[in-house]
Amino acid sequence: MSVDPWKGILKDTQRHSAYLRYFEEWEARIGSFLEYRLSQDDPSDSGRLPLGGVPFGVKDNIAVEGYHCTCGSKILKDFTSPYSATAVNRLKAAGAVPVGKCNLDEFGMGSSTDNSALKKTHNPWDVSRVAGGSSGGSAAAVAAGLVPFALGSDTGGSVRQPAAFCGVYGLKPTYGAVSRYGLVAYASSLEVVGVLADTVDTARRVFDVIKGQDELDQSSALYPGLSRDRGGNPGAAPPAASTARIAVVEGLEGLSPEVEETYRSSIDFYKAAGCEIQPVSLPSLDYAVAAYYTIATAEASANLARYTGIRYGYRDTGAVTMEEMVRSSRTKGFGDEVKLRILLGTYVLRSGFQDQYYGRAQKIRTAIRNDFDRVFAAADLLLMPVFPVQAFPHGDTSLDQFQQKLADKFTVAANLAGIPALSFPTAPRNGLPVGMQLLGPVFSEQRLFAAAEIHEKSLGGIPRPHGFRSV
Ligand code: GLN
């Protein structure tokens, strides 16, 4: 379903009360929102706007004026945002209505949303399983049909992986294509605000509204009208999706049988649709996780230094000196995974050791970029799995925190290179969704949408979890 049927849902009394009931029934089961308000009116002239009256969710590390912005952390549990992120403001100007804040792994650190200090979120397909992360609340809310789309953030896969776990679309845009103003920083050189959506059409329309330069974010880019190369020169017009040259990675290891079979059948699908399949190797992929966690933790250690309990956030009032207050506010306010990453980041940046860790990670980052450049010199798109396994059960027994990090292999590469990637749902296996992703050169989002759309059409209706109704 595209966003149109949602127009005015908050205003039409009959539809609204049915929507409220549906929302609350599902929400009680999956816990996707940390806070929501469904009673507000949508703007009166919303019918004429592109997303007039369409409700949406916002990951709780993205600011919405008047709502909390907890980042899933005890340290920001009582913080209310005095302003809205640029992406949120652009959506509001297009008529869309933010209805609440979605759960996440604390500060976006994780792959399950179980690292939230505030709430458990469950997968709508099977509530004993995680929704993925870190934008797990956003993905679960869209999958259950509570909202047609939600904003998320993707630093190393946090939009695409939960989208894959919940059976929805997940766009990680080109770095800089969407303003980060109002996104709470985790690893600034890697992250971007992205979209979780029920259909390709919804994802495309939302991206169209939120993309583009913003004077409040120096790293935001003017979005070119035509596809352009890395130097900003106009490139060739986008190829027709059905004749695209699609690179596929040979010899991927460690995939579950379900994900491996789906990867093969997706390759077969695009071949049958008329695409030219090009097997490639991506040698740098083996080092991507190490480089990602070195760079991400280094940046996190600096970005999270601002939570001292002095100007905002949790403050331990029992302390006597200021130093004690800062130390104990951080000790009590941050969860274990966040502390681990601050320590790791401080370790890799300590004086005299930068060459050994951070410098090397930057070299791998360049190698990854070069690998992608080589692939996209001959191919229009690259098809890859999103995550080696389907949604796993809650708890550390199925995939511990370290294994979860290793499993980020297929998602982190796009962040290290700054290129766009779109995760799309395929036919479920064993009753659970499987997601694949398409990647392309910078600013090739339209190409990704077009290729995902021919696959979407072939599904004859996107599979939805049991109990899903169209609102
Ligand atoms: N799982 C990755 C991490 O924990 C991705 C996080 C993200 O994209 N925010 O860092």
pLDDT in tens, 103-117: 999 999 999 999 999
**Mean pLDDT across 85-108:** 98
Is 97 inside a domain boundary?
yes
What residues make up the domain containing 58?
Answer: 4-239
Cα–Cα distances (Å) from 137 to 25, 142, 210, 312, 332, in that order, read 16, 9, 20, 25, 24
Distance CA 136, CA 238 (A): 32
**Mean pLDDT across 342-358:** 94
Is 131 inside a domain boundary?
yes
Residue nearest to atom 5 of ligand 1 (CA): 156
Rounded to 10°, the helix 360-378/409-417 angle is: 90
Q: Tens digits of per-residue pLDDT, 1-56?
A: 689 899 889 888 999 999 999 999 999 999 999 999 997 666 656 668 999 999 99
Check if 130 has its Cβ closer than 6 Å to any atom of ligand 1. no
76 alpha carbon to ligand 1 midpoint, in Å?
A: 19
Distance CA 31, CA 282 (A): 38
pLDDT surpasses 70 at 226: no
pLDDT surpasses 90 at 119: yes
pLDDT surpasses 60 at 229: no
Task: Give the model's pLDDT for residue 241.
Answer: 82
Percent over 70 (pLDDT), the chain: 95
Task: Give the model's pLDDT for residue 242.
Answer: 83
With the most atoms of ligand 1 within 8 angstroms of its CB, the residue from 60, 103, 158, 400 to mutate is 158
pLDDT surpasses 70 at 156: yes
**Mean pLDDT across 293-319:** 96
pLDDT surpasses 80 at 236: no
With the most atoms of ligand 1 within 8 angstroms of its CB, the residue from 102, 408, 409 to mutate is 408
Q: Record the pTM.
A: 0.96
162 alpha carbon to ligand 1 midpoint, in Å?
A: 11
Task: Give the model's pLDDT for residue 139.
Answer: 99
Is 436 inside a domain boundary?
no
- Find tokens 């098809």 and name the residue: 383
Task: Indicate the pLDDT class of residue 471, thresholds 50, 70 and 90.
Answer: confident
Q: What's the domain count of the chain?
A: 1
Which listed residue (81, 134, 179, 329) is catalytic? 134
103 alpha carbon to ligand 1 midpoint, in Å?
A: 14
Q: Give the position, in ligand 1's atom list, of the atom nearest the Cα of 187.
A: 9
pLDDT surpasses 90 at 233: no
Residue 19's domain is classified under what CATH number?
Answer: 3.90.1300.10
Q: Tens digits of per-residue pLDDT, 369-407?
A: 999 999 999 999 999 999 999 999 999 778 999 999 999
**Mean pLDDT across 442-453:** 98
**Mean pLDDT across 217-222:** 96
Is 262 inside a domain boundary?
no
134 alpha carbon to ligand 1 midpoint, in Å?
A: 6
Is 417 inside a domain boundary?
no
Among the listed residues 275, 280, 207, 201, the one whose alpha carbon sits nearest the alpha carbon of residue 241: 275
The whole-chain average pLDDT of the chain stands at 94
pLDDT surpasses 80 at 347: yes
Among the listed residues 75, 82, 108, the one whose alpha carbon sits nearest the alpha carbon of residue 194: 108
pLDDT surpasses 60 at 133: yes
Is 73 inside a domain boundary?
yes
Is 387 inside a domain boundary?
no
Is 116 inside a domain boundary?
yes
